Structure 1
Amino acid sequence: MIIYGVAVLAACLLAGMIVGDALGALLGVESNVGGVGFAMLLLIVLSDRMRGAGLFPQHSAEGVLFWSAMYIPIVVAMAATQNVVAAVGGGPVALLAGVGATALCWAMVPVLSRIGGVEEALPPIADHAEV
Structure 2
Amino acid sequence: MVLYGVAALALCMLAGMIIGDLLGVAVGVDANVGGVGFAMVLLVLVSAWLRKKGLFPKPTEQGVLFWSALYIPIVVAMAATQNVVEAVTGGPMAILAGLAALACGAALVPVISRIGGRSEPLPEMTEEEKLEV
Name the TM-score class by shorter chain: 0.7 to 0.9
Counterpart for residue 33 of structure 2: 33
CA–CA distance in 2 between the matches of 1:124 and 1:65? 32
Counterpart for residue 12 of structure 2: 12
Aligned CA distance change for structure 1 residues 85 and 62 (closer, same or farther; 3 Å): same
The secondary structure found in structure 2 opposite 1:62 is helix
Aligned CA distance change for structure 1 residues 116 and 66 (closer, same or farther; 3 Å): closer
The one-letter code of the counterpart of 1:41 is V
Q: Please state how far the C-alpha of 1:46 moved relative to its aligned partner.
A: 0.7
Aligned CA distance change for structure 1 residues 124 and 11 (closer, same or farther; 3 Å): farther
Gaps of 5+ in 1: none
Identity of aligned residues (%): 63
Counterpart for residue 3 of structure 2: 3
Equivalent residue pairs, number: 131
Superposed counterparts of 1:23-102, under 5 Å: 23-102=23-102
Q: Which stretch shifts more, 105-114 or 80-89?
A: 105-114
Q: Please state how far the C-alpha of 1:98 moved relative to its aligned partner.
A: 1.8
Aligned CA distance change for structure 1 residues 22 and 125 (closer, same or farther; 3 Å): farther
Q: Please state how far the C-alpha of 1:18 moved relative to its aligned partner.
A: 1.2
Backbone CA RMSD of aligned residues: 2.4
**Structure 1 runs of 4+ with >6 Å offset:** none
Q: Please state how far the C-alpha of 1:42 moved relative to its aligned partner.
A: 0.9
CA–CA distance in 1 between the matches of 2:125 and 2:48? 29
The secondary structure found in structure 1 opposite 2:54 is coil
The secondary structure found in structure 1 opposite 2:73 is helix
**Which digits, 9 at most, give the CA deviation of each residue in 1:94-124, with x for residues without a partner?**
1233234224423432343234543333455
